[in-house]
Amino acid sequence: MEFKAQSIADFLGGTVEGDAEISVSNVAKIEEGKPGTLAFLANPKYYKYLYETNASIVIVNLDFVPEAEVKTTLIRVPDAYKAFASLLELYQQAKGFKTGIETPSYIDSTASHGNDIYIGAFAYIGKNVKIGNHVRIYPHVYIGDNTSVGDNCTLFSGVKIYEDTIIGNACIIHAGAVIGSDGFGFAQTKDGTYKKIPQVGNVILEDQVEIGANSTIDCSTMGSTIIHKGTKIDNLVQIAHNVEIGENTVIAALTGIAGSTKIGKNCRFGGHVGVAGHITIGDNVNLGAMTGVANNVKSDRTMLLQPAMEFAHAAKVAAIFRNLPQLREQVIDLARQITQIKKKLEDN
């Protein structure tokens, strides 16, 4: 499908600067733009590519001021990043969605599903499962007994949903994710061996939650592990039993959250963050990549390093750390001078 610049601008509520009749049929990164493609520019690091890109149309912010001649057609919008995301969503919808139930797949006779669904080959739908409308379940998905899946959800290939899980509306779970596996609970006995503690709770994903590929969310020992509305979790993230994560929190890859920790809303965790168990992290907390958190964190904090420190203090620590080789040499030199002074005093 082809779209003219003016049609795109009308859809986005933007204005055209250049050839309003030029058409595009695909999208591209601005540094890789070719004739017939549409790109966007929001990050200042990529400004230089605007003057050399071959993309036919580039979406830019209203306040963008070019520093040289621009050959491509521009569409100015209030927020280029959000506008481009809207176009990608429209582009994806135009490609269409699979529908129907493929064979072989197993759907228990006690399970129910809504309208306009897709269930791929080799999927397994257990007893008393409830699936809403417009749900996409790709091949090799397992959905355990007594699970409910809300409307407009997508479960990609290889997703495993254990029994009693509750999934809200418009959730996306990517390939290989496991929801509801046992929490890591063991009691050590007198002879040093470990006795498994049964995990009898479940997992609740509220509306508009997205879970990345190969991430795991453990069921609770009792009660529920809860991921609240709008939270986005990246690939290869481990969420342990009885964790609760607040609304609209985003967690990057390789992060691990230990059991029974409570995380507030609107938090942002960088990659490879580690959070200890049985602590509370407030609202609007930012944790930089590889931060290690062992104690409670109050709301509206930005933390870095291991153990986690507030940003200003962490910056000072980092500056000292960078100077450690020089400081070491100075300490060695001072020790040498002190030794020489002591020797002189003893000789006298």
Domain locations along the chain:
3-95, 100-312, 319-347
The verdict on whether 241 is a catalytic residue reads yes
Mean pLDDT across the chain, nearest whole number? 95
First to last CA, the chain: 96
DSSP 8-state assignment for residue 48: G
Half-sphere exposure of 271 (CA within 13 A, CB side): 4
Cross-strand partners of 297: 281
How high is the pLDDT of residue 88?
Answer: 85
Rounded to whole angstroms, how far apart are CA atoms 335 and 35? 68
Between these two residues, 26 and 264, which has the higher pLDDT value? 264
In order of 132, 150, 172, the CA distances from 135 in angstroms are 6, 8, 10
Mean pLDDT (whole number) for 3-8: 94
Whether domain 3-95 has CATH 3.40.1390.10: the reply is yes
pLDDT reported for residue 139: 98
Structure tokens belonging to residue 244 = 């609760």
Residue 137 has pLDDT above 90, yes or no: yes
Amino acid code (one letter) for 224: S
User: What kind of architecture, by CATH, is found in domain 100-312?
Assistant: 3 Solenoid (2.160)
Instruction: Return the percentage of the chain with pLDDT > 70, whole number.
Output: 100
Q: Answer yes or no: is pLDDT of 300 > 90.
A: yes
pLDDT at 1 over 90: no
- What per-residue confidence (pLDDT) applies to 2? 86
**Average pLDDT rounded to a whole number, residues 144-152:** 98
Average pLDDT over residues 146-160: 98
Distance CA 259, CA 206 (A): 19
Is the pLDDT score of 269 beyond 80? Answer: yes
Determine which helix (DSSP H) or strand (DSSP E) holds 344, and give its type and residue range.
helix 324-347
- Looking at the DSSP bridge assignments, the partners of residue 287 are 269, 303
Q: Indicate the range of 69-73, 85-89, 217-221 predicted with least confidence.
A: 85-89
CA angle 335, 341, 344 (to 5 degrees): 145
Identity of residue 294: A
Of 113, 134, 140, 241, which is the active-site residue?
241
